[in-house]
Amino acid sequence: MQFTAKYSHYSNCTSPESKYFSVVTGIKSWLVYVIFCIIYGILSFLVNQFILTYEVYYQGFSQQITATQVEAFIEMRSEYWWIGAVLPFFIVPLKVLYVATCLSVGLIIIGSDISVREVFRLALLSEIVFIADLIIQVFCGIFLIEVRIPDDYANFAPLSALQFFDVSSLKLWMKHPLRTLNLFEVAYMLVLAYFLTPLLKKRTYLQTLGLVVSSYGLGLLLWVVALAFLLLQVS
pLDDT for 13 equals 44
- Distances in whole angstroms, Cα of residue 199 to Cα of each of 68, 103, 176, 210: 58, 13, 33, 15
The pair phi, psi for residue 124, each rounded to 5°, is: -65, -45
- Write down the mean pLDDT value for the chain: 87
Which amino acid, one-letter code, is at 87? L
| CA 59/CA 72 separation, integer angstroms | 15
Contact 73, 120 (CB under 8 A): no
pLDDT for 17 equals 52
Using the predicted structure, report yes or no on whether residue 11 has a pLDDT greater than 60: no
| % pLDDT > 90, the chain | 62
| CA 16/CA 22 separation, integer angstroms | 10
Using the predicted structure, report yes or no on whether residue 112 has a pLDDT greater than 60: yes
pLDDT for 1 equals 41
Which of the pair, 171 or 12, is modelled with greater confidence? Answer: 171
| CA 105/CA 111 separation, integer angstroms | 10
| CA 130/CA 160 separation, integer angstroms | 13
pLDDT digit string, tens, across residues 71-106: 888 888 888 888 888 999 999 999 999 999 999 999
Using the predicted structure, report yes or no on whether residue 149 has a pLDDT greater than 80: yes
